[in-house]
A and B are shown apart, each in its own frame.
Chain A
Amino acid sequence: MSIWEYANPKKFMASTGWLLPWVWGMAGLCLLVGLIWGYFFTPDDFRQGSTVKIIYLHVPSAMMAINAWVMMLVASLIWLIRRHHVSALAAKAAAPVGLTFTVIALVTGALWGQPMWGTWWAWDPRLTSFLILTLFYLGYIALWQAVENPDTAADLTAVLCLVGSVFALLSRYAVLFWNQGLHQGASLSLDKEENVADVFWFPLLVCIAGFVLLFVALVLMRTRTEIRARRLQALIARERLA
């Protein structure tokens, strides 16, 4: 019994079919509790007023935007090394989800930035790196769409994901070098004295858990869809031969 048994599509379908409703339920519960708690039962910030409440969407989606890419990187490596098809399909399934989280982070940031910084957009390092991350996601998805043979597409996108990760990291530091910005520093670090006050911190934690579960649920569901699409194609091909 090893974890690689779940790389078998049949086993994967069976276990995720059982798991998925639970993940959906937990995600819904966490988001419901976290967002309602955050929006209606936390005080307004004394300087930012009620606009501060956008962190319950902004921070978790920004975290997941980066984590989704990391997950794609790991899945791509597993595909390149061990040739498990489920892994390649999971990477494919995660990309549009990650792109959506990136866009949510950018849009909520703009909505908050307008009253706070007085502008929808500033060429701040964090904002700029997220915009670049969006471009990386777009390129990755476009390459999946463009290549017809599914195995070739999986291989090429995996190589792109590896190289893209290095360049995304380089861009992050290049952008930091280029412009010191408006965005506040990290305030959720575990190793720092001054973090977000506890009243905001606990609902935020629940929201983050909700977004993680939401991501897992969406990726599992989309991977299952991809597997089913593959099976359909195999059936159609067999019909043609018969």
Chain B
Amino acid sequence: MFLQRGSGRGFGCGRDGWAGFGVAGGAGMWALLIRDLRLAVRAGGGFGLGLAFFLLVAVLVPLGVGPEGDVLGRIAPGILWVGALLACLLSLDRIFALDFEDGSLDLLATAPIPLEGVVAVKALAHWLVTGVPLTLAAPVLGVLLNLPAAGYGWLVLSLALGTPALSVIGAFGAALVVGVKRGGLLLSLLVLPLYVPTLIFGAEAVSRGVAGQAAEVPLLLMTGITLGAAALLPFAAAAAIRINLR
């Protein structure tokens, strides 16, 4: 039976067998990634929204705090990191909710790609449409917030290395609440505590960079969190999706 499936249909394995997972699975992942990117860019959505939110945060904070340059410069690393984190949070429920509603998540769960791979690809797509633009926009907003010159490199570097963790952790949270109607607020309650270590190390790296201290240590610790989350959380998220689809 297994042999027949493996050789006859060419698609290799079912959900449980990784034996035939190879060319077909890789192509499936590419197809899924491109589909998600297209949906994000074309079908009204998350792509520009997070970026606009990030810009709004950077504009509103000086209006609330006051225009003194040295105060703004001191809080800029934290504000930029918190802003990026909230902008990331904004689009999380799109990762699985829409696919769950129209039934494509069921298809993805029974597709030849392992569900863990689906989660990883969807987190990657989320990062490409939120994390990367946020990272690229951050230096511009740093100018608005009077970030000292020494901080720009660390800001871009820490966001580039830290935002993948935000996407993966967020994908896990989104997988937990995928079956809950109007789960948006619940999602932020679940995900924000999980963001704490990434936020602390990321903002600390920029602050230390600004102050001229060694910023490598928090940066490395944060990168460790990113790598660990990327390696392990897709399994937890896939488990959550299986539970929700039962």
Please, how many angstroms separate the alpha-carbon atoms of A28 and B177 in the complex? 40
Asked if B201 is at the interface (CB within 8 A of a chain A CB), the reply is: yes
The residues in A between 110 and 135 inclusive whose CB is less than 8 angstroms from any CB of B are 132, 135
With a CB–CB cut-off of 8 A, which chain B residues contact A152? 179, 243-244, 246
With a CB–CB cut-off of 8 A, which chain A residues contact B183? 146
With a CB–CB cut-off of 8 A, which chain B residues contact A162? 236
Which size class do A's interface residues fall under?
Answer: 20 to 34
Please, how many angstroms separate the alpha-carbon atoms of A143 and B192 in the complex? 14
The residues in A between 211 and 234 inclusive whose CB is less than 8 angstroms from any CB of B are none
With a CB–CB cut-off of 8 A, which chain A residues contact B196? 132, 167, 170-171, 174-175
**Among B179, B189, B197, which residue has its beta carbon within 8 angstroms of that of A139?**
B189
Q: How far is the CB of B217 from chain A (nearest CB, A)?
A: 8
The residues in B between 190 and 221 inclusive whose CB is less than 8 angstroms from any CB of A are 190, 192-194, 196-197, 200-201, 204, 218, 221
Asked if B240 is at the interface (CB within 8 A of a chain A CB), the reply is: yes
Asked if B172 is at the interface (CB within 8 A of a chain A CB), the reply is: yes
**Among A147, A156, A163, A175, which residue has its beta carbon within 8 angstroms of that of B194?**
A163
* Chain B: interface residue total (CB-CB under 8 A): 27
Q: Mark A142-157, 1 if CB is under 8 A from B, else 0.
A: 1100110000100110
Measured CB to CB, the nearest residue on chain A to B192 is A135
Asked if B239 is at the interface (CB within 8 A of a chain A CB), the reply is: yes
Q: Would you call B176 and A143 a contact (CB within 8 A)?
A: yes
With a CB–CB cut-off of 8 A, which chain A residues contact B233? 163
Q: Would you call A159 and B201 a contact (CB within 8 A)?
A: no
Asked if A107 is at the interface (CB within 8 A of a chain B CB), the reply is: no
Asked if A70 is at the interface (CB within 8 A of a chain B CB), the reply is: no
Please, how many angstroms separate the alpha-carbon atoms of A67 and B177 in the complex? 27
The residues in A between 161 and 176 inclusive whose CB is less than 8 angstroms from any CB of B are 162-164, 167-168, 170-171, 173-175
Q: Would you call B193 and A156 a contact (CB within 8 A)?
A: no
Q: Mark A58-70, 1 if CB is under 8 A from B, else 0.
A: 0000000000000
Q: Would you call A178 and B193 a contact (CB within 8 A)?
A: no
**Among A135, A138, A174, which residue has its beta carbon within 8 angstroms of that of B200?**
A174
Q: What's the dominant secondary structure at chain A's contact region?
A: helix
With a CB–CB cut-off of 8 A, which chain A residues contact B193? 132, 135-136, 139, 164, 167-168, 171
Measured CB to CB, the nearest residue on chain B to A134 is B193
Asked if A160 is at the interface (CB within 8 A of a chain B CB), the reply is: yes
Asked if A4 is at the interface (CB within 8 A of a chain B CB), the reply is: no
The residues in A between 15 and 58 inclusive whose CB is less than 8 angstroms from any CB of B are none
Asked if B150 is at the interface (CB within 8 A of a chain A CB), the reply is: no
**Among B179, B197, B201, B221, which residue has its beta carbon within 8 angstroms of that of A147?**
B179
Please, how many angstroms separate the alpha-carbon atoms of A146 and B221 in the complex? 34
Please, how many angstroms separate the alpha-carbon atoms of A75 and B239 in the complex? 18
With a CB–CB cut-off of 8 A, which chain B residues contact A139? 189-190, 193
Q: How far is the CB of B219 from chain A (nearest CB, A)?
A: 12
Q: Would you call B204 and A142 a contact (CB within 8 A)?
A: no
Measured CB to CB, the nearest residue on chain B to A80 is B239
Please, how many angstroms separate the alpha-carbon atoms of A196 and B227 in the complex? 42
The residues in B between 160 and 202 inclusive whose CB is less than 8 angstroms from any CB of A are 172, 176-177, 179-180, 183, 186, 189-190, 192-194, 196-197, 200-201
With a CB–CB cut-off of 8 A, which chain B residues contact A178? 200, 204
Measured CB to CB, the nearest residue on chain B to A170 is B197
Contact A177 to B172, CB < 8 A, known contacts A135-B192, A146-B186, A159-B239: no
Asked if B225 is at the interface (CB within 8 A of a chain A CB), the reply is: yes
**Among B180, B221, B243, which residue has its beta carbon within 8 angstroms of that of A177?**
B221
Please, how many angstroms separate the alpha-carbon atoms of A147 and B179 in the complex? 8
Q: Would you call A160 and B246 a contact (CB within 8 A)?
A: no
Contact A177 to B179, CB < 8 A, known contacts A143-B186, A167-B194: no
Q: Would you call A177 and B190 a contact (CB within 8 A)?
A: no
Measured CB to CB, the nearest residue on chain A to B242 is A155
Q: Would you call A156 and B201 a contact (CB within 8 A)?
A: no
Q: How far is the CB of A55 from chain B (nearest CB, A)?
A: 28
Contact A174 to B190, CB < 8 A, known contacts A143-B176, A156-B243, A159-B176: no
With a CB–CB cut-off of 8 A, which chain B residues contact A138? 189
Please, how many angstroms separate the alpha-carbon atoms of A170 and B194 in the complex? 9
A136-B193, A146-B186 given; name 16 further pairs at CB < 8 Å. Answer: A143-B186, A152-B179, A156-B176, A156-B240, A156-B243, A156-B244, A160-B176, A163-B194, A163-B233, A164-B194, A167-B194, A168-B193, A174-B196, A174-B200, A177-B200, A177-B201
